[in-house]
Each structure stands twice: as C-alpha cells, then as structure tokens.
Amino acid sequence: MFKRPLSDYNEFQKVLNQAQNIVALTGAGVSAESGIPVFRGPGGLWRTHRATDLATPQAFKANPALVWEFYHYRREVAFNSQPNKAHIALAKYEKICQEQGRKFSVITQNVDGLHKRAGSKNVLELHGCLQQVICTKCKIIEMNVNNPICEALRGRGFGIIDPSKKDQDLPIIQVKELPKCSKCQALVRPYIVWFGENLDPDVLDNARELVETCDLCLVIGTSSVVYPAAMFAPTVAERGKPVAEFNLSEDPFDEEFSFHFSGPCGTTLPKALGIDL
C-alpha cells in the first residue's frame, strides 16, 4: 500500500532544518512565473515550427539562420525576464546554509540563467545556458549577453506564434552575418545541449555526486520526464532520504517522495523554506 506524500509545511521544516547537504532539482515550472515559455508538449510552437524540431544539431546544420532566430528570441525573453520569488528564495536559503556550515546546491534543467541572476552560487546547468556560445570550429566557450547577438538578428524572432509573420516574408540571413567566434571568427552556436546530444560528462558526474551524497532533495517545477535528470530524485528516495516535490500538479510524480506541495513555486517554496519575501 502506497503512503501518500505529506503536504505539511511544519513537518517539512523539521526535516529541512536537520539536513546538512541539500540538492534542489529545478525545471521549467520554476521559471514560468518569470514569463519564460515552456516549449515542450502541446502548443510548443515558435512561429510555425515545433520548437523541439529546431533544438537539434541537424536543424542547425540545415538552417543555422533559422535556429539562431529562434535562440535570439529565447535570449531576448530570458534577458528581459526577472528572477521570481522561487529563484530568490533558493538563493537566500543557500546563503543561510553557507552561514550555518551546511551545503545547498541547485541542479537545473533550465537554460535561462535566472538562478544565478537571483544570487545562487552553487548552480549546475545541465543543459547549458543562453548566455554562452560555443564555436563550431575551435570549440571555445564564451559568455555573450549582447542583445542582439549580431546586427542581422535585430528585430527578428517575433513571438511563439505570430500567424501574421511567415518565414518567406523575411529577408534571408546569410551565414556570414550570423554570430562569430571572437578567437577564430568561425560560426558559433548556442551553448545548449540539444536533442540527440549528450550532457557534458563533467557536469553529469558532478550532478550524480550531488544526488548520491545529499540527505534531502527538492524537486521544483519539473515533471522529471527527461533522462538522466528523471532518475535523480527517485535515486535519492531509493536511498531512504527525503524528497520534497513542489509542482502545480495535484498528484506527486512518485509516491515514494516524502512531501508534495501543490501550487505556484513562487508561493509554496518561500513558505516551505521559511523565507520572508
């Protein structure tokens, strides 16, 4: 017989206060309140394209200008968005843990950079981030927060769906006009782990170590369907350590989790962490 996870803030805070090594696993839901679109699932369109069809090496090889338009749009949205109460609560709680000699880390599937902008220091970005680019030739990784990232992309991108705009109505952007590496001047691409690509092995090893050594895991705004991240929280639960889930869903992802708090993360998370915002 399954034991349903608790939705008891007082009981959770008892567990939280005793934990010495806490890991927060975050997904798209934590950034939704900042206005970051979720492209996975039904309706995940950008203009007339399925967003997931553009986030592949094959798409970039076939039409780098189109992919860069999509990522210019994503960068513009992220750069103009602000960390919300969930991001801020995590950053503040990390600082509290540091002052108390405890460890607090964030493993995020998001690429928007909002955790770091909120003040979190110990952040592992599993899928890369929009603030970085990688050269297709020399493979150097560089920070780039220019907006637009190149003049040819100024005013391009539009919204997620804008039926009044068609690809054929727009001037074609030549590859030579796209963002270039500052070292060798070759074409760069977003430093994002696309579909069909492997995670950075060092980042993955660091994430696994955090998951295997933590004594409390927070699952925040993620449905945990993408591997290997999907196995992180269940692995913690299998070790007999508490897992607390914060999600809009009324039902827990895993009945083995100790706690489940339903509602907007910007509301439930600060309350659970005891952060007054």
Render 135-149 in DSSP notation, one character per residue. Answer: ETTT--EEE---SSS
For residue range 2-29, list pLDDT tens digits in order.
Answer: 466 889 999 999 999 999 999 999 999 9
Mean pLDDT of 147-153: 94
Mean pLDDT of 248-253: 74
User: Could you tell me if 180 and 144 lie in one domain?
Assistant: yes
Among the ranges given (45-49, 144-148, 164-168, 245-249), the one the predictor scored with the smallest mean pLDDT: 164-168
User: Could you tell me if 101 and 212 lie in one domain?
Assistant: yes
- d(CA 183, CA 246) in angstroms, rounded, equals 43
End-to-end CA, the chain: 39
> 107 forms bridges with which residues in the sheet?
25, 124
What pLDDT score was predicted for residue 248? 87
pLDDT at 227 over 90: no
Instruction: Determine the angle formed by the axes of helices 265-273 and 85-99, rounding to 10 degrees.
Output: 20
User: Could you tell me if 4 and 44 lie in one domain?
Assistant: no
What pLDDT score was predicted for residue 1? 35
User: Could you tell me if 50 and 3 lie in one domain?
Assistant: no
| Higher pLDDT among residues 80 and 42, named by residue | 80
- d(CA 277, CA 264) in angstroms, rounded, equals 15
User: Could you tell me if 218 and 154 lie in one domain?
Assistant: no
Q: Which among 197, 214, 239 is the end of a domain?
A: 197
What pLDDT score was predicted for residue 254? 67
What pLDDT score was predicted for residue 258? 93
Q: Residue 236 is which amino acid?
A: V
Mean pLDDT of 61-75: 94
Alpha-carbon distance values, 38 to 16, 44, 167, 224 (Å): 30, 7, 22, 14
User: Could you tell me if 140 and 247 lie in one domain?
Assistant: no
Q: Which among 141, 175, 197 is the end of a domain?
A: 197
| Higher pLDDT among residues 65 and 227, named by residue | 65
User: Could you tell me if 97 and 144 lie in one domain?
Assistant: no
What pLDDT score was predicted for residue 166? 58
Tell me the backbone φ, ψ of residue 250, rounded to 5 degrees.
Answer: -75, -25
pLDDT at 252 over 70: no
User: Could you tell me if 168 and 237 lie in one domain?
Assistant: no
Query: Residues annotated as binding site?
Result: 71, 74, 109-112, 135, 138, 181, 184, 221-223, 247-249, 265
Q: Which among 197, 222, 254 is the end of a domain?
A: 197
User: Could you tell me if 179 and 256 lie in one domain?
Assistant: no
Token pair of 196 as six digits? 């069909």
* CATH classification at residue 43: 3.30.1600.10
* Number of folded domains that form the chain: 2
Active site residues: 127
* CATH classification at residue 13: 3.40.50.1220
What pLDDT score was predicted for residue 44? 63
Mean pLDDT of 238-265: 88
User: Could you tell me if 114 and 244 lie in one domain?
Assistant: yes
Mean pLDDT of 199-212: 96
- d(CA 110, CA 101) in angstroms, rounded, equals 27
User: Could you tell me if 98 and 216 lie in one domain?
Assistant: yes
Q: Label residue 111 by pLDDT band (50, 70, 90).
A: very high
Range of the domain at 235: 1-34+83-127+199-277
pLDDT at 272 over 60: yes
Q: What's the whole-model pTM score? A: 0.91
User: Could you tell me if 183 and 244 lie in one domain?
Assistant: no
The mean pLDDT value of the chain amounts to: 90
What pLDDT score was predicted for residue 37? 81
**103-108: strand order across its sheet:** 123-125, 103-108, 21-26, 216-220, 243-247, 259-262
